[in-house]
Structure 1
């Protein structure tokens, strides 16, 4: 299995130091948050992109994708009634697709809860239509770069738009693009779904393009109450071939401790199931 980590955890670490530790622990992939490097993708020059990719590869690492796509942006929104803003959002996703491909990646996780919340007074069906329009406008150009968007369900504590795998699939089916697939996140599934995570893994095996691991306590796998044995067993049984990527939200224990403990636990569980 390919274990990876989301790098925004390493606040204020330079890129070389991040790559050195991530590789030394044993991870093979890095998932980037664009805001950790620039205010917008266009500000990351071609030379910088090449340097980021080369440094990662020199440590035996692959920059396989991006997440937090709209974080810390202004004037962008997925479900807004403002058609001009929807078009700007689609254009921005294309920019991100170019960045992702230039770094060697092939997937982008669409989470960004604040930039997808439904406007007051807007119907659910209109919100889905607006979001589908944005993705239909962006995905063809992104596909030309060999990149997919993975739609991430999030809990109702985070957003009121797409909270379950079934709702994500509803939107994916509306858009009808081969490079628009499902993302599964352990914390989100624990907090929003009625079915168990192993059941959801099997149910959506054919549609799932990426998988985040974490816990309800906002730390990494093995650092909370969630038993990953049935989760990893289900991933094995389902034939999942993608990345398993650590995404945490509580950095208090320290980046190195979180990265090491998460990897140690994942490796131990994966080898035991």
Structure 2
């Protein structure tokens, strides 16, 4: 396995500084969040080349670009066209940056509220993305995420099967799956099989009140629930069965750490990096 820091955790730093801090902690790569000031659909070709140069100088890989475009299931035709155009520009950037995967969002609502037409519309646009990405050997990945069509193993595989392209897969995210209250341990890894292209790691826990830093409200099958973002091992999303399953199945891909707990960015990334190595028996 190889480990990447999620650039979104370091979004308050320049992309150059974010990469330097990522290397300083010991990561193998950085998953760049496609948000300014790091990267976007409007980033110039010159700046994209500069980002690649800095990464190469540090010996950092860029395995994934975490796009925020999508929302195809509920977007208007104009909004979907705009999102697809943004995707095409990020795809061009990925070729320069050497990223093999681009995250795209299918859209909502929660899988338990979604209708067939939500899946059909999302699949139409995601197929366009996958076909275009396939021309340069790039994959698109959907993050298993609460309040989306890709919310459980079953709903995620449904949308991927509807797209029907070999280069579309899923990002396993135990923290998100904990929020959804769906299995995120061994069975989820086995269930996703070869369609698990990537792994995200972050911890969360349910709380009684919101208002404190790191708390938020989310709609789940249980109603409106309250959560706190935590450092790995300090929340309720037990990642040990996941890590055990990754070892059992011989997973050799990337694991991105994206802790958003209310601690300084460097501190929480460093903590989670040490913790995940410990839990995998690599410390």
Task: Please give the TM-score of this superposition, normalised by the length of structure 2.
Answer: 0.83
Q: Which residue of 2 aligns with 1:142?
A: 133
**Cα distance in 2 between the residues matched to 1:78 and 1:211:** 23
RMSD, aligned α-carbons: 2.4
Q: Which residue of 2 aligns with 1:203?
A: 191
Q: Which residue of 1 aligns with 2:28?
A: 28
Q: Which residue of 1 aligns with 2:17?
A: 17
**Cα distance in 2 between the residues matched to 1:40 and 1:16:** 15
Q: Which residue of 1 aligns with 2:74?
A: 80
* Superposed CA offset, 1:173-204 (max 9, x none): 11111111121101122222543512111221
Q: In 1, are the aligned partners of 2:185 and 2:239 still within 8 Å (CA)?
A: no
Structure 1 pair 256–191 and aligned structure 2 pair: CA distance change class (3 A): same
Query: Where is the helix percentage greater, Structure 1 or Structure 2?
Result: 1
**Cα distance in 1 between the residues matched to 2:148 and 2:98:** 33
Q: In 2, are the aligned partners of 1:79 and 1:117 still within 8 Å (CA)?
A: yes
Query: Post-superposition shift, 1:77?
Result: 3.5
Q: Which residue of 2 aligns with 1:66?
A: 65
Which of 218, 223, 230 is equivalent to 2:241?
230
Runs of at least 5 residues in structure 2 that lack an aligned partner in the other structure: 205-227
2:120 is aligned with 1:129:
yes
2:154 is aligned with 1:192:
no
**Cα distance in 1 between the residues matched to 2:148 and 2:187:** 23
* Superposed CA offset, 1:131-170 (max 9, x none): 0111122221111222211112222xxx253321211110
Q: Which residue of 2 aligns with 1:170?
A: 158
Structure 1 pair 161–20 and aligned structure 2 pair: CA distance change class (3 A): same
* Superposed CA offset, 1:66-100 (max 9, x none): 11422xxxxx6411363333233223222222222
For 2:91, what is the secondary structure of its paired residue? helix
Structure 1 pair 239–253 and aligned structure 2 pair: CA distance change class (3 A): same
Structure 1 pair 160–147 and aligned structure 2 pair: CA distance change class (3 A): closer
Structure 1 pair 223–123 and aligned structure 2 pair: CA distance change class (3 A): closer
